Amino acid sequence: MTLSILFRQMFAVAALALGVLGSGQATAQSSLSPRPAIWVVRDADSTIYLFGTIHFMRPDTDWRTDETAAALVASQTLVLEVANPDDQAAVIPLIQQYGRSPERPLSTLLSAEEFRSFDIAARRLGGSGAQMDTLRPWLAGVMLSAAIPARGGFDPASGVDLVLRAEANRLRLRVTGLETPADQVRMLSGFPEAGQLAFLRNTLETFDQAPTELGLLADAWTRGDVEAIARVTLEPMRARSPAVYAAVIIERNHRWADQISRMLNGSGTTFVAVGALHLAGDDSVQNILPVRWPFVALSLRGQPRQSSLARP
């Protein structure tokens, strides 16, 4: 797995592992055609479409709808969490700077039994505990988490943000990001070591059941069931890891709402696509945005028309 793929999906999977996996929540699959949620907000001279994404998807899932296609075609700019998640040159120096601690190897931070479990999981990635021993706990946990989607039949190359980016390039839209890989890495690496170890231990404990939990999230997203997304992901995360929830969800949502407010103070039509966890629950971007700019749902559950959005 390349580092660019790892960073592309790290928040969708790592957020679950930080407090959600093993929550025991169940969501029935829907027989309706896919209809992921999309919202719109307008003022006199600007329009913002807001769309939740998943950074992994089963290759045979066609989530495209007419609402999404029309919104993208009408836009001049696509805004993602990170403008180019495949920028390998930007990621490698960050790993070297923030992701390794040879002076505090994992074998000295974990118990002997925990390190044996870590070695077993690492071997499923084609490595070993010894090879990953110098990683900081946050990065070790992210690397294990990033291997989970494939075990559930998901493909990061089919991630929704990548499909949108490819379509935006075809339409010659401007593509920008709300944050950079450095912003994301600094956030994860900034957690105290005890919190990073708790994340790694929880990832190890839930490694085998994680694909089922990811399936629940993907099914809820495909149906546009925002309440289920919050129930499966955000509520257990907030209860189990309030500090992580504040840093990964609330603080970022406030920063993004500020940026969207500035977009609305400008002009033109913009398609904003961020992880679906940020558009669900009480602390969603929509709820944080000033009330003079209420988002209106274009689709939330229900039977959609199929889309002409091109495949990359």
Predicted local confidence at residue 299, as pLDDT = 62
Predicted local confidence at residue 312, as pLDDT = 29
Would you say 144 and 205 are in contact if contact means Cβ atoms under 8 Å apart? no
Predicted local confidence at residue 5, as pLDDT = 45
Predicted local confidence at residue 37, as pLDDT = 93
By CB atoms closer than 10 A (0-12, 13-18, 19+), residue 26 is exposed
Question: What tokens does 22 get?
Answer: 């093993």
Predicted local confidence at residue 57, as pLDDT = 85
Predicted local confidence at residue 301, as pLDDT = 52
Point out the residues of the chain with pLDDT beneath 50: 1-6, 8-9, 11-12, 16-31, 302-312
Q: Is 126 left (phi over 0), alpha (psi -120 to 50) or beta?
A: left
